[in-house]
Structure 1
Amino acid sequence: MSNRIKIVFIGNSIINGFPYDRNQEFVSLYREASGNEVINKGVNGDTVHGIMRRFVQDVLVHKPDVAVILTGTNEFIYKESLPEQCMKDIVNVVELAKAQAINPVLLTPLPIDPGMAETRWMVCDDVDYEAVQDQIVELKKLINKYGEENKIKVIDTFYAFSEYVDLVGEQTAYYDGIHPTREGHQFLAEIMRKFL
């Protein structure tokens, strides 16, 4: 994009950059590289319901040109939603953006590494990370299908990050099986530059 635009990224801890400082996550790295006005509205542990509740104050108030939306992992870890319902809620968020002439861009949720997540993330909780990964895959398919059918831009970060993991290995890509490492965030920033 040649002209400087305003973009709000809204979503969960992947957007927020957990466990790193705000200037080290892919949103800030993309901001520096692109020269666009970029606002990070990531919240650790958030779900699509949280995004819907805060969409007015965190997105609409800023009157951005683009809203980049990433959700769909915590919903399944917390057993709050199933892929089909999560997709319906994401569509509602997209409609909120479109109603204010904001261009929505959907990111598919990142893959997780179930084995690493079991030992490094929420170890004491009863979470079936294999089932979570299956639900993430299902939601990714629904998001891609919705984007194609409705001419909504989708960046398939699930696919891109899967390729990245295959290339560099889990230990380099993941901090804890859920969240990317600094190197993983740098990779995601490059994906944003390429496709956003």
Structure 2
Amino acid sequence: MNIVCIGDSLTFGYGVKASESWVSVLSVKLGMKIINKGVPGNTTTEMKNRFIKDVINCRPDKVLIMGGTNDLFLKGRVSDVVDNIALMIEHCKKHKIEPIILTSLPVNEDLAEKTWFTDMDYKKINADLTELRHLLIQYSSEKSVTCLDIGTHLLEEGTIRDHFLEDGIHVSEVIHKRVAEIIFESIF
């Protein structure tokens, strides 16, 4: 089986060692190489634009797609994020690749405001991320696509709150490990 993960810095593993990213941890759990196509700072538009090169050309059996946070930081619309992910899903269907949507993680509003932009409304970002999670779940249900609501799962567990890095956006190796466990338990 060949698996590609496409996303932004959360997929890339920004702030943790490469071996501690959720993609690497999942790779070890499965005993197989997983191609990590996470690019820090990427929006879903950028992911969509590189999808053929970074995913389709690798001929994977499965692709895990996680993105949208950067779109919202740049004041993008939630509906545009869903549309971009839907286009990636259509590419998958056309090429007989099983798509798996992973919802984005929330941000820690207080930490993010201290580290990033003081004029950004991080409460609105989290509200938009919640809306995005709901819309992706609805879309996946309508299109019979697997969607793992990672963001809500971690919030309900309470595990994420204490494991943000100092920027309030990226997470520690503890959360990367938990994300890999959730994917492994749910899909494999």
Is the counterpart of residue 184 in structure 1 residue 175 in structure 2? yes
Shift of 1:169: 6.1
Q: Deviations over 1:70-90 (max 9, x none)?
A: 0110101111x2111211111
**Structure 1 residue corresponding to 2:23, chosen from 8, 11, 27:** 27
SS in 1 for 2:169: coil
| AA aligned opposite 1:53 | N
**Any residues of structure 2 matched to 1:41-190 within 5 Å, and which?**
41-79=37-75, 81-120=76-115, 122-123=116-117, 126-164=119-157, 166=158, 168=159, 170-171=161-162, 173-175=163-165, 176-190=167-181
Q: What is the distance in 2 between the residues matched to 1:44 and 1:160?
A: 23
Q: TM-score, normalised by structure 1?
A: 0.90
* Structure 1 unaligned blocks of 5 or more: none
Quote the offset at 1:163 in angstroms: 2.3
Q: Which runs of 5+ in 2 are unaligned?
A: none
**1:138-167 deviation line (CA, Å, top 9, x unaligned):** 110000001111100001101112123x2x
1:94 deviation in Å?
0.7
Contact 1:111–1:161 under 8 Å retained in 2: no
Alpha-carbon shift at residue 186 of structure 1 (Å): 0.9
Q: Which residue, out of 32, 35, 40, partners 1:36?
A: 32
Amino acid at match of 1:155: L
Report the alpha carbon displacement of residue 26 of structure 1 after superposing the two structures with TM: 0.6
Q: Residues of 1 paired with 2:156 and 2:21: CA distance?
A: 20
The amino acid of 1:28's aligned partner reads: S
CA contact (8 A) 2:160 2:175 kept: no
Count of residue pairs the alignment pairs up? 186
Counterpart-to-counterpart distance in 1, 2:33 and 2:160: 33
The runs of at least 4 consecutive aligned structure 1 residues that moved more than 3 Å come to none
* Secondary structure of the corresponding residue to residue 179 of structure 1: coil
TM-score, structure 2 normalization: 0.94
Provide the alpha-carbon RMSD of the alignment: 1.3
